Amino acid sequence: MEEFRMPTLGEKFPELEVKTTHGVKKIPDDYKGKWFVLFSHPADFTPVCTTEFIAFQKRKKEFDELNCELIGLSIDQVFSHIKWVEWIKEKTGVEIEFPIIADDMGQVAKRLGMIHPNKGTNTVRAVFIVDDKGVVRLILYYPQEVGRNIDEIIRVVKALQTTDKYQVATPANWPNNDVVNDHVIIPPATSEKEAKERLEKANKGEIECFDWWFCHKKI
């Protein structure tokens, strides 16, 4: 029997051909040049999952602005996904516009380590954030009992894109940090010369520093 190891941070997302409510898709190939958030849910027609899908859809425009696509997944058949999406639109007025993978054989979920160990064949509430080069950048796991915070998922996509663009780091709760507010963290100096240069830049007002190893700036 072939065994799979779930992808880890910094690795390429595995190549998958999947059935979805938008037809057959190849992941990550069909999303070249785009970021995507692939998230699994335990089952269709369940209350928490329904609230999550509505929440994702209501924030879809913000994901679009980040060049980031949404992809759902559960171990249900396509017709179940389609009927559930219809139900959501009928009952709440929200139309789900992103594809949902129908992993009715559970192969994708197994490959990605999404099967809940104590809940039969149900998938955990996993989140994979993959960048525009097909590299896994963040993985989150939630138990079935806890719905996801969509604001946090948007925040980390923004943070990852910011750190890539400016070669910086982001502090806790960025962009609303208690210490440096909306500033980003400049990576620590790696030599005595660079440490002195950091402090000189701080003296000139080019950056702000608590010390040479803790400097920050607004972008």
Domain 167-219 class in CATH: alpha beta
Grade residue 81 by pLDDT with cuts at 50, 70 and 90.
Answer: very high
pLDDT in tens, 146-158: 999 999 999 999 9
What fold, for 16-148?
Glutaredoxin (3.40.30)
Domain boundaries, the chain: 16-148, 167-219
The mean of the pLDDT values for the chain is: 93
127 vs 14: CA distance, rounded Å = 15
For residue 198, give the 3-state DSSP assignment.
helix
> Which residues are identified as catalytic?
49
Is there a contact between 144 and 116 (Cβ–Cβ < 8 Å)?
Answer: yes
For residue 5, give the 3-state DSSP assignment.
coil
Instruction: Output 123 or 107, whichever has higher pLDDT.
Output: 107
Is there a contact between 12 and 134 (Cβ–Cβ < 8 Å)?
Answer: yes
pLDDT above 90 covers what percent of the chain?
Answer: 80
Is there a contact between 5 and 110 (Cβ–Cβ < 8 Å)?
Answer: no
Q: Which two tokens stand for residue 166?
A: 């400016």
75 vs 80: CA distance, rounded Å = 10
Q: Which two tokens stand for residue 147?
A: 């719905």
Q: Which two tokens stand for residue 4?
A: 């799979």
For CA atoms 120, 126, 132, 137, the dihedral sign is negative
pLDDT above 70 covers what percent of the chain?
Answer: 95
195 vs 192: CA distance, rounded Å = 5
Q: Which two tokens stand for residue 58?
A: 């209501």
Half-sphere exposure of 197 (CA within 13 A, CB side): 8
Is there a contact between 68 and 35 (Cβ–Cβ < 8 Å)?
Answer: yes
198 vs 219: CA distance, rounded Å = 17
Whether the per-residue pLDDT at 2 is higher than 70: the answer is no
* pLDDT of amino acid 122: 66
Grade residue 1 by pLDDT with cuts at 50, 70 and 90.
Answer: very low
